[in-house]
Amino acid sequence: MDMQHSAATPSVIHRADYRPPAWRVPELALDFDLDPAATRVRATLSVERGGAHGEPLRLDGEGLTPLAVRVDGVAVNDWWMEGERLVVPLAGDAHRVETEVEIAPDRNTQLMGLYASGGNLCTQCEAEGFRRITFFPDRPDVLTVYRVRMTADARRFPVLLSNGDPVGQGELPDGRHWAEWHDPFPKPSYLFALVAGDLAVNRGTFTTRSGRVVQLGIWVRAADLPKTDHALHALKLSMAWDERVYGREYDLDVFNIVAVDDFNFGAMENKGLNIFNSRYILADPDTATDYDYDAIAAVVAHEYFHNWSGNRITCRDWFQLSLKEGFTVYRDQGFSADQGSPAVKRIEDVRGLRASQFPEDSGPLAHPVRPEAYLEISNFYTATIYNKGAELIRMMATILGPQSFRAATDLYFDRFDGTAATCEDFVACMEEAGGIDLSQFRLWYSQAGTPRVSASLEHQAGGGRATLRLAQHVPPTPGQPVKQSMVLPLRLRLFGAQTGQPLTDEQLVLLDQPSKTIVFETVAERPVLSINRGFSAPVVVESDRSPADLAFLSAHDDDPFARYEAMQQLMLDTLVAGALGDAADHQGVVDAVARTLDGPDLDWAFLAEAVLIPSENFVGDQLAVVDPQGIHTAREALRQALGTALADRWRALYDQTGQGAYTYSPEAKGKRRLRGVALGYIAASGAPDAADLAFRQFEAADNMTDRQSALSTLVNLGGPACQAALDRFYTRYAGNALVLDKWFQTQALSSRDDTGAVVAALARHPDFTLANPNRARALIGAFGVNQRAFNAADGSGYRFLADQLIALDRLNPQTAAKLLPPLGRWRRFDAARADLMRAELQRIVAVPGLSRDLYEQASKSLE
């Protein structure tokens, strides 16, 4: 670690240092006198000594000054500060401790704690935001019953919401009013929430299976009310799904969701009062794509499911974060799969895992699903904790089978309800209900890195035996040079190369040794291996399957994911060869894509996924040294070859997928997706009318999916039609922040040569602001994943990102830190680029007063 970061070098928190809380806080009364510039917070904590010890009461705070401290109603002055902590000596085993502080929500640009967004006041407390509101033991294993009273100006803040149930409200003489809420469920401080604002509500009801009538409300600014039906519908579906699939019922009479424009991530599961980034609530066909609709349903479900996996059972400490996040992602993935095509959902999730988690696992920020240490917990809300964590749950579900898995989750919910639990507690329930030993499986929680599996299949001709040799290797990661063998559940099956028929049943192989040999007797014809079907283990498979075998599987495999995967592998091999400068042979891919397009009975969305070629980043991840330009050229060449060779088919599909007036159904969505892919290939072919076709689609579209796909195509093509479309789009949606984000993002993702310059200019556009995280992510975040543009040989992309991060860090460290990882990929590039990237990381680390968030990410990226 860089010692120059002298005064502020933050200290490392270790999992091994966990100690139960010295004091419990069974009850808390909060009294807010709300005002954007100066909010008074009075907190009354009932505290109880936890066991026999002589420790004083230590309360976390951040940027707070105690204005008063009272113990059992009497003002005291024997308290002191330890850094930011308030320490109060207490003589007995139970006391009432009151504190008073003043905070300024309108100056809170970090968006943690109590802050202002669009004239309203709202909170974000996970992970450690509550300490910015009041002094409290701000850790997830202190479970407290909250009573919250809010007083505010009745005209500016007519709506006052908090957790639990409303228990009282009234008018005050000076134009102010008050409301009081009570949450009967003990909860950790990170689940506290309040909202004060001028909001309209879309109301609904849900009757639980035991007959509780729950009042549902989605709160937004009045003009956005027409865009809330989809989210409300998704909420009702989620509530029914969790009853049906996990036996989980809602437990309060009220469930509210509030949408805000300024939010550091997706949404937050505060008990009874979820607060959302408005991008995951607001949708209508004119402004939201099908992708947005799906994401809204998934996030609404995710936050709702947290009511059990997160709130009723929370985490003992933040090292256990994946206990709630991995499991809840697994649950929301199951929900989304049940709403449409499970195969397509699985493909999307695996693509996401490969785009975000695999690179994390092979880079400087790699960490286990249950980390051992951190500087800043906000940096651990990662794809590893969330998405790899979900894969761990999925593997256990696969190993247990559906009935035992359900028995295991029932046991977990029953046994740990009302407690702060650990990942170990969850795994122990899986073992107990499944009657199995998961000792070795636990390595998935402690070892970082993506395992690699090699698979080779030999066959004795003439109906002899087939021998499958499997071997695993877990690569070293920071702090973990040597790895143990893991348990890899691999679903596999053999197919006959001649007949195309399955030669075996599907079987589940647990590869739990460095290597393993599996023998299949009397295999009638040459077998082709279908392995890791459904992506049963989050690993990289290296097989010796020929291009012909991959093409065969892409046509014949009965597992849709495996069929998709075979095509991806075939395309990837072609792209890697092209990027390495080998003479490009596109014919294999062209034939396989043609066969898929001509094949029977595949649904539109699956087709669209199957014929889409891997991203430039994913190709880069396969190479020892990423050559951004070489990859781009190879990929564009394959796109052009596919566009040209299959031109008639793309045209036919494009026409076939044109639709009448917009409808929202899995079939209509699938058609729109495939239409966008077909348009992309028509453009890639260099067809002279491509820009016209795209512009016509842009103009005629009655929904954002078609408009956006046309705009993306035009932005990649450039020229006058591109500029016209960008201008029209901008004018049409002026004032709609969520749609303007798309305008920025589409340009930042462009494959054109001038994208670096365009992005730099957009950063000076009057509508660009670093203060809004969605806007920052739309431009800066998208640019960081545009492999060729970001990795311009002159280092301009690196310098731009570093400049933006340094500026953003002063406002919002959490969001800045989230955008840093592209700069940490320097080991993957040539020496010239690596030097340029490291120089920018060093420049960041040297900034005086840098946040702990950005410091941790930048310094680790240099190691």
Least spacing, CB of residue 688 vs Zn ion, in Å: 48
Least spacing, CB of residue 375 vs ligand ARG, in Å: 14
Query: Binding partner of residue 378 among Zn ion, ligand ARG, none, CB under 5 to 8 Å per kind?
Result: ligand ARG
Query: Binding partner of residue 715 among Zn ion, ligand ARG, none, CB under 5 to 8 Å per kind?
Result: none
Helix, strand, coil share of the chain (percent; to 5): 45, 20, 35
> Tokens 């890899």 — which residue?
488
Query: Binding partner of residue 127 among ligand ARG, Zn ion, none, CB under 5 to 8 Å per kind?
Result: ligand ARG
> Helices 547-556 and 587-598 sit at what angle, rounded to 10 degrees?
10
Per-residue b/e over 510-535, b at no fewer than 16 CB within 10 Å?
bbeeeebebebeebebbbbbbbbbbb
Q: Which is nearer to Zn ion, 323 or 641 (CB)?
A: 323
Q: Which is nearer to ligand ARG, 204 or 266 (CB)?
A: 266
Q: Which is nearer to ligand ARG, 138 or 325 (CB)?
A: 325
C-alpha span between 530 and 536 (Å, rounded):
12
Query: Binding partner of residue 181 among Zn ion, ligand ARG, none, CB under 5 to 8 Å per kind?
Result: none
Q: Which is nearer to ligand ARG, 126 or 261 (CB)?
A: 126
Query: Binding partner of residue 126 among ligand ARG, Zn ion, none, CB under 5 to 8 Å per kind?
Result: ligand ARG
404 Cβ neighbours under 8 A, 6+ residues apart: 433, 434, 435
Residues that bind ligand ARG (CB under 6 A): 126-127, 265, 267-269, 302-303, 325, 378, 381
Least spacing, CB of residue 328 vs Zn ion, in Å: 5
661 Cβ neighbours under 8 A, 6+ residues apart: 702
Q: Which is nearer to Zn ion, 328 or 356 (CB)?
A: 328
Least spacing, CB of residue 239 vs ligand ARG, in Å: 17
Q: Are 513 and 455 in contact (CB under 8 A)?
A: no
Residues that bind Zn ion (CB under 5 A): 325, 328
Least spacing, CB of residue 318 vs ligand ARG, in Å: 10
Least spacing, CB of residue 848 vs ligand ARG, in Å: 25
Please give the single-letter amino acid code of residue 329. V
Q: Which is nearer to ligand ARG, 755 or 814 (CB)?
A: 814
Query: Binding partner of residue 448 among Zn ion, ligand ARG, none, CB under 5 to 8 Å per kind?
Result: none
- Three-state secondary structure along 7-34? CCCCCCEEHHHCCCCCEEEEEEEEEEEC
Query: Binding partner of residue 178 among Zn ion, ligand ARG, none, CB under 5 to 8 Å per kind?
Result: none
> Tokens 């917070």 — which residue?
41
C-alpha span between 604 and 674 (Å, rounded):
6
Least spacing, CB of residue 341 vs Zn ion, in Å: 24
Start-to-end CA span in the chain (Å): 8
Least spacing, CB of residue 220 vs ligand ARG, in Å: 19
Q: Which is nearer to Zn ion, 328 or 750 (CB)?
A: 328
C-alpha span between 405 and 451 (Å, rounded):
24
Q: Which is nearer to ligand ARG, 261 or 616 (CB)?
A: 261
Catalytic residue among 126, 180, 269, 303: 303
C-alpha span between 628 and 614 (Å, rounded):
14
Query: Binding partner of residue 265 among ligand ARG, Zn ion, none, CB under 5 to 8 Å per kind?
Result: ligand ARG
Query: Binding partner of residue 634 among Zn ion, ligand ARG, none, CB under 5 to 8 Å per kind?
Result: none
Provide φ and ψ at 545, rounded to 5°.
-70, 135
Per-residue b/e over 656-691, b at no fewer than 16 CB within 10 Å?
ebeeeeeeeeeebbbbbbbbbbbbbbbbbbebeebb
C-alpha span between 781 and 772 (Å, rounded):
13
Residue 616 three-state SS: helix
HSE, CB side, 13 Å, CA atoms: give it for residue 336: 24
Q: Which is nearer to Zn ion, 266 or 795 (CB)?
A: 266
Least spacing, CB of residue 293 vs ligand ARG, in Å: 19
303 is catalytic: yes
Find the helix or strand (DSSP H, E) in which 244 lies: helix 229-246
| Closest residue to bound ligand ARG by CB | 381
Q: Are 111 and 264 in contact (CB under 8 A)?
A: yes
Q: Which is nearer to ligand ARG, 264 or 472 (CB)?
A: 264
Q: Which is nearer to Zn ion, 320 or 328 (CB)?
A: 328
- E strand intervals along 591-707: none
Residue 791 burial class via C-beta count within 10 angstroms: exposed 0-12, middle 13-18, buried 19 and up? buried
Residue 176 three-state SS: strand
Q: Are 510 and 537 in contact (CB under 8 A)?
A: no
Least spacing, CB of residue 126 vs Zn ion, in Å: 9
Q: Are 181 and 163 in contact (CB under 8 A)?
A: yes
Query: Binding partner of residue 490 among ligand ARG, Zn ion, none, CB under 5 to 8 Å per kind?
Result: none
C-alpha span between 850 and 809 (Å, rounded):
7
HSE, CB side, 13 Å, CA atoms: give it for residue 836: 19
CB neighbourhood size of 702 (10 A): 12
For residue 522, the 8-state DSSP code is -
Least spacing, CB of residue 348 vs Zn ion, in Å: 18
> Tokens 């431009």 — which residue?
779
Strand pairing of 120-124 and 113-117? antiparallel
Least spacing, CB of residue 184 vs Zn ion, in Å: 23
Q: Which is nearer to Zn ion, 657 or 815 (CB)?
A: 815
Query: Binding partner of residue 268 among ligand ARG, Zn ion, none, CB under 5 to 8 Å per kind?
Result: ligand ARG
C-alpha span between 801 and 795 (Å, rounded):
10
Q: Which is nearer to ligand ARG, 97 or 298 (CB)?
A: 298
Least spacing, CB of residue 303 vs Zn ion, in Å: 7
Query: Binding partner of residue 267 among Zn ion, ligand ARG, none, CB under 5 to 8 Å per kind?
Result: ligand ARG
* Rg, C-alpha atoms of the chain: 28
For residue 820, the 8-state DSSP code is -
726 Cβ neighbours under 8 A, 6+ residues apart: 711, 714, 715, 743, 747
Query: Binding partner of residue 742 among ligand ARG, Zn ion, none, CB under 5 to 8 Å per kind?
Result: none
C-alpha span between 411 and 504 (Å, rounded):
35
Q: Tell me which residue of 434, 447, 516 sits closest to 483, measured CA to CA.
A: 447
Q: Which residues are catalytic?
A: 303
